[in-house]
Structure 1
Amino acid sequence: MARILVGKAIEMKKIFSIQGPYPVIRAALRARGWIERCMYGSKQQAQKRHSSGTSSLKYNDTLEDAEKEPNPDQLHSLMSRLVKNEMVYFYWTRDAINPNSLQKNQIINHFANAGTFTTKVGLCVNLRNLHWFDTADPGTFFPRCYSLTEEDERQAFIEDFRRTACTSLLRLIVERDQDLHRQKKEINHCSEQSLPSQMIYSALKVCHEYLEKLEHKDIDKTFKTPQTLTQDQWAEFLNSYYLVAHDGVQIKGSKHLVNSCKAMLQQLEKVNPQLGIDGKQNIWIIKPVAMSRGRGIKCVKHLDQILRPVDKYSAITSPSRWVVQKYIEQPFLVHGTKFDIRQWFLVTDWNPLTVWFYKKCYLRFSTQPFSLDTLDSSVHLCNNSIQRHLRPSQQRHWNIPAHNMWLDDQLKAFLAEQGKEALWETVAVPGMKTSIIHALQTVQDQIGSRKNTFELYGADFMLDLSLNPWLIEINTSPTMAPSTSVTAQLCAAVQEDTLRVVLDWRVDCSANTGDFELIYRQAAVDVPQYLGANLIVEGFAVKNTCPLPLLRPSNHSASKSGGPGKVKESTVEKLPPLPKVVLKRAESMTKSRKAMICPTLPSESSVHKPVHNIKVKCK
């Protein structure tokens, strides 16, 4: 039986190999008639082979035992040994394989150079090039981000932080006035903690100049034009802003500037799509590039606290070690708790770009109720690798499970209670699809478009108060560990459906693809054939060339009758003769100058004769 199955698998080229703990993939491939060629070089496979008892048996004994007792584990282990010298046609690995070492008909689950959009810096930098591929604005779905180690990016972030402090201050003035009207109270400006209203005028002026910059009205300004605020004035402004935004200090005379603040915010809202998520605290999230699973990430709301780690490690670390991204201060909450969404998508080709979107997703909650009064990771980071080690707060709503996860169907039920069920299908899901497509468009020419290659990615999103999705990051090799009942159900399903797309659908377009939906298939781009750079010019050489006659200088001392004039002997004392070395050098320089002045030209007969039969060939 084993020989029959192995022979059939070899004939149909159904030999696979897996690196890592993917039991769902292994079982699904075996069900399709595939036989695994184990990677015995790994310690895990060696232990598995040893525990199965086949390593101590001889080949004939193992074959006879397998034929007597059809034990599935023993049978698969035997077939794996029978195909140990066969070529693998399907690889599912945790790490990428060098595609240059593979044949064209071998299938792998990783593309080359995926780090261009699955790293924090790569996604940040490449999305800025979206205008070359689409008319969409990345600021509508990706919170602005900067690489702090690059000097120009660092300066751009400082300007952004200061400008955001100004807009946050205007929002504070407006919202405090609205709260006082609701409570019918008056502001006590006589307190010792109140600040002068000059800082409001400064904020309005900074915002006004920002609007002029967007409209290119600052084109006539030069470096000599005085800045709105000097470095010292900015430091004083930010310290005052911290007192107002974080400590609740009042500003004298702010009531008279409420209308001006409202008008400015209305103008900014038309040009700044992220004004709604900026909030009032000016909180940013700083991320170390070289770490994953939420390690080293923290929320900060003081400029010096953000720049301090960069200044500390700038001398010993590589560029782009730190990125800083604007924190979404007004997220959509479920029972007062923050969450993010893990959304899978599958890329089966980069030319033409082919993207599949998984219809199922799941939510990951933080263990503490949401609050901006504390910046602890238990409140603001939803990574399961962090939250699973923390104990859920007793103040958190009882409907959120202890394992901190929800199915998307549970979110839909919650939205139905809030009267927002329609927004999930009309706003959230289309927004996630569009964000993924735009992120892939910006890196399409940087990814190796090898055929018979696919890759499953995990995108993380957050929702704002209007249920608009905001892309946070894209992960390669997303975890498939069944850590909770939610992931045990969905991770197994997405792996099986991935095989349906990459194995079944590629053969039969009417095959079932599970919950995967084809959302984008670009028109194929023809790659021009390489002709090489070996250019050859063929033709006839120009013949019968001769030098020009030497130019004779006119004799200014000749007599009017044309006879030679008498040259008076110089009365100057004769100089001693020059050395022979100097004379030879002067003679050679004279010859070279004559050659430059009198180049050789073709003869008269050849000048009027056209040159024929000149051809240019590419080989």
Structure 2
Amino acid sequence: MEATNSGKAGILSGQKLQDANQNHAPCLYTKSPEVRVGLPDFNPDRLKTARALADKAVKMQKIFSIQGPYPVIRAALRARGWIEQHMHGSKLQVQQQQQHQSSGSKSSSKDADDHNSEDVEKEQDPNRLHSFLVSAALSRLVRNEMVYFYWTNRRDAINTNILQKQQIINHFTKAGSFTTKVGLCLNLRNLHWFDVANPDTFFPRCYTLAAQDEKHAFIEDYRRTACTSLLKYVVKRDQNIQGKGISHNLQDVQVQRKQNKHRSKPLVPSQMITTALKVCQEYLESLEHKDIDKTLETPQTLTQEQWAEFISSYYLVAHGGAQIERSEHLVSSCEAMLQRLEKVSPQLGIDGTQNIWIIKPGAKSRGRGIKCAKRLDQILRMVAIDPALIKESKWVVQKYIEQPLLVHGTKFDVRQWFLVTDWNPLTVWFYKKCYLRFSTQPYSLDTLDSSVHLCNNSIQKHLRPSQQRHCGIPADNMWLDDQFRAFLASQGREALWETVVVQGMKTTIIHALQTAQDLMESRKNTFELYGADFMLDLSLHPWLIEINASPTMAPSTSVTAQLCAAVQEDTLRVVLDRKVDRTADTGDFELIYRQAAVEVPQYLGINLVVEGFAVKNPCPLPPLRSSNQSASKRWGPVKEKESALEKVQALPKMLLKKAESKIRRCEPLSPALPSESSLSKPVKSISIRLPMTVLPIGGGSHSGHLWKRRAEVSNVQPPTTEKQQGPLSQEMTAPKQPRKATSSSTSA
């Protein structure tokens, strides 16, 4: 730090040195007429000092590059001894020039960047020209060096695949999975795979109308919400009547009757309330899985024609002010049904009675193209204007929060920053400061104009605040969080800020990042600052609206001038200072989540291998029976009187070859064996070694063991006439000895 300051002192002096340290340099990516003035002459000593500063920065790997006008980042880095490398003629400069020349509507919708080219503050200041020239001179000295820190306002400005490990960049790739309205809508539905939480408790239900199933789900939701809104309308009207008192004088009754007579639309029958109760009852049964026994042939509650008639009647009541005849006896049933629905529907409190939905372009920011609508046909017609957009899932329809928390009768939202420094392990930093953004008009559901319902500063800054708006709302439409806490304290609800609002925003951010973790590319030395927009309901519960990448850091008001500068400086404390010293001050950033690291297996490419072993299929011999039975059953009738002994004597070699071949083919040998009646004549005995299988021999009462050996033939002496009794252990001898013999002999 001292070397840097002394180096600058060697180049500049007096007021010029102070301007250089403050670093209010002009934008390096826009053409400036002031740059064309005559350049001062640098003496050799100053150039030598500049080279020393450049060499030190290169040695310490402190070369940075910034796309866009971020004076706070530049000043903070230079105060740490970093030197900026201006990338003239590079992709960064070209993109920045195109951004300034094009309108806001031409910006890419691929990333939900909150950065607004119209909000860019002009840093051109002639009094700081010399500071710019010094910066340009230092940049020229390091123009061929590696950049170790990139800060861009678009994630596609740098190809992260070509970066080295030590290079730091402020954007993750593929962040559109949760920074676009379509990505956030689809990802949060998978939250149950990552955590025990219900996204309907913090994110208004949302649908993408590209797919037919999404479109049908939205239509079903709209119809069901119309039923619950009707029940709310009936209960609310009854409460208003009881609040005013039951005693109405005759004049009021007559006036009301005259008004009813002059109505252009007739009274709506109370039958529609009964229909709404029936639809809600079936919805509860479906949540409790009581409808699984119903077959596909079971008729639906309402047909398409009946639904069209019901929705038309609902429009007359909710939007046209029509009355429902004779509905007092159904108020208690409506209250009981709403109590049951409240237990299973966490968004019942934000629905209201108007059934308003908000239509958003899927990947645009700063409130562009957002509209509100009440009627179903109008919503479907709005998103079907451009077939290309509906095909590419560029439209989402989200339930509008009809009962938000108001400050002096004015709607607002909360901008909350958070920082992600790693995706594996997922590491999230929450900023302790936030600010509120108000609309310029008092809140009302009678009009759906964006000046009433959209709080984006890029929209409200072009509008003039209404004279009917409360004087407590500032002209710049922004509050610090401390001012809002003071407002809550005036209502006795200050304690709810930390316990309900802050804690709810932390939990919501963590859940949103969990669902996108598998879709992100986890690169070390990468970080990103995000801006989340929340709305509060009547109980101060926060509801996530959207998450923006590259949130605007322009000091458009006194509130943003204070907070945006602080969050940028604290971001560098977390990313740079804490990297060197784990105990470094992180400002107002608080570490709220650090997940356990997950081992990622190394990718070795596609290698399909089938491993296994050969299966040896043994072929056991079928059981042998007596020659008579075997021959009759397997090989047809056999002449009993035919002498088998003559066959053996006539063809001994043929029998042996045939036996060997049959053994190899696992065929039965019974036709070749002699019968018992042919054993009277002495013949040469044939010894055959067979596979080990127990086979019955002769009449079937005796068995012999055939071993797993190749058939071998040996000459033996003819046996005696006595029958052999007992099993043969290794040799099967033909002919056999008589069965009645008490012992067997094989004398020579």
Distance 2:389 2:467 in 1: 43
Aligned to 1:406: 479
Taking the TM superposition and a 5 Å limit, the aligned residue runs for 1:60-71 are none
Following superposition, the deviation at residue 228 of structure 1 comes to: 0.6
Q: Which amino acid aligns with 1:384?
A: N
Secondary structure of the residue that 1:253 maps to in structure 2? coil
Residues 372 and 5 (structure 1 numbering): CA distance in 2 closer, same or farther, change over 3 Å? same
Q: Does 1:137 align with 2:198?
A: yes
Taking the TM superposition and a 5 Å limit, the aligned residue runs for 1:379-390 are 379-390=452-463
Following superposition, the deviation at residue 562 of structure 1 comes to: 8.7
User: Is residue 383–residue 390 contact of structure 2 (8 Å, CA) maintained in 1?
Assistant: no
Q: Does 1:426 align with 2:487?
A: no
Taking the TM superposition and a 5 Å limit, the aligned residue runs for 1:16-35 are 16-35=64-83
Aligned to 2:344: 271
Aligned to 2:577: 504
User: Is residue 181–residue 363 contact of structure 2 (8 Å, CA) maintained in 1?
Assistant: no
User: Is residue 283–residue 326 contact of structure 1 (8 Å, CA) maintained in 2?
Assistant: yes
Aligned to 2:296: 223
Distance 1:105 1:137 in 2: 39
Residues 365 and 538 (structure 1 numbering): CA distance in 2 closer, same or farther, change over 3 Å? closer
Aligned to 2:132: 73
Distance 2:289 2:179 in 1: 34
Residues 538 and 154 (structure 1 numbering): CA distance in 2 closer, same or farther, change over 3 Å? closer
Secondary structure of the residue that 1:312 maps to in structure 2? coil
Aligned to 2:447: 374
Residues 284 and 604 (structure 1 numbering): CA distance in 2 closer, same or farther, change over 3 Å? same
Q: Which amino acid aligns with 1:80?
A: S
Residues 541 and 289 (structure 1 numbering): CA distance in 2 closer, same or farther, change over 3 Å? closer
User: Is residue 149–residue 310 contact of structure 1 (8 Å, CA) maintained in 2?
Assistant: no
Residues 3 and 246 (structure 1 numbering): CA distance in 2 closer, same or farther, change over 3 Å? same
Aligned to 2:53: 5
Unaligned residue ranges in structure 2 (runs of 5+): 1-48, 97-128, 622-633, 644-664, 667-689, 693-706, 710-748
Distance 1:160 1:420 in 2: 34
User: Is residue 116–residue 122 contact of structure 1 (8 Å, CA) maintained in 2?
Assistant: yes
User: Is residue 384–residue 390 contact of structure 2 (8 Å, CA) maintained in 1?
Assistant: no
Q: Which amino acid aligns with 1:91?
A: Y
Taking the TM superposition and a 5 Å limit, the aligned residue runs for 1:351-500 are 351-500=424-573
User: Is residue 19–residue 39 contact of structure 1 (8 Å, CA) maintained in 2?
Assistant: no
1:14-70 deviations in whole A, cap 9, x for unaligned?
A: 111111111111111011000111111169969x9xxxxxxxxxxxxxxxxxxxxx9
1:139-178 deviations in whole A, cap 9, x for unaligned?
A: 1100000001211111001010000110010011011011
Distance 1:503 1:44 in 2: 23
Following superposition, the deviation at residue 4 of structure 1 comes to: 1.2
Distance 1:394 1:538 in 2: 80
Distance 2:93 2:608 in 1: 55
Distance 1:437 1:316 in 2: 30
Distance 1:533 1:373 in 2: 61
Q: Which amino acid aligns with 1:221?
A: K
Match 1:204 to one of 268, 277, 283:
277
Of stretches 18-27 and 529-538 in structure 1, the one that deviates more from structure 2 is 529-538
Following superposition, the deviation at residue 530 of structure 1 comes to: 4.6
Following superposition, the deviation at residue 527 of structure 1 comes to: 2.2
Distance 1:30 1:171 in 2: 60
User: Is residue 120–residue 473 contact of structure 1 (8 Å, CA) maintained in 2?
Assistant: yes
Following superposition, the deviation at residue 72 of structure 1 comes to: 3.8
User: Which structure has the bigger radius of gyration?
Assistant: 2
Distance 1:109 1:513 in 2: 17
Following superposition, the deviation at residue 328 of structure 1 comes to: 0.3
Secondary structure of the residue that 1:79 maps to in structure 2? helix
Distance 1:260 1:522 in 2: 48
Distance 1:535 1:45 in 2: 47
User: Is residue 346–residue 356 contact of structure 1 (8 Å, CA) maintained in 2?
Assistant: yes
Secondary structure of the residue that 2:551 maps to in structure 1? coil
Distance 1:306 1:532 in 2: 48
User: Is residue 501–residue 542 contact of structure 2 (8 Å, CA) maintained in 1?
Assistant: yes
Following superposition, the deviation at residue 121 of structure 1 comes to: 0.5
Q: Does 1:85 align with 2:144?
A: yes
Distance 2:642 2:277 in 1: 92
User: Is residue 365–residue 405 contact of structure 1 (8 Å, CA) maintained in 2?
Assistant: yes
Of stretches 495-504 and 402-411 in structure 1, the one that deviates more from structure 2 is 402-411
Q: Which has the higher contact order (CA 8 A, sep 6+)?
A: 1
Unaligned residue ranges in structure 1 (runs of 5+): 49-69, 549-553, 564-597, 610-619
Number of residue pairs aligned between Structure 1 and Structure 2: 550
RMSD of aligned C-alpha atoms? 3.2
Secondary structure of the residue that 1:88 maps to in structure 2? coil
Q: Which amino acid aligns with 2:177?
A: T
TM-score normalised according to structure 2 size: 0.69
Residues 529 and 296 (structure 1 numbering): CA distance in 2 closer, same or farther, change over 3 Å? closer
Q: Which amino acid aligns with 2:72?
A: V
User: Is residue 180–residue 364 contact of structure 2 (8 Å, CA) maintained in 1?
Assistant: no
Aligned to 1:95: 154
Secondary structure of the residue that 1:443 maps to in structure 2? helix
User: Is residue 332–residue 338 contact of structure 1 (8 Å, CA) maintained in 2?
Assistant: yes
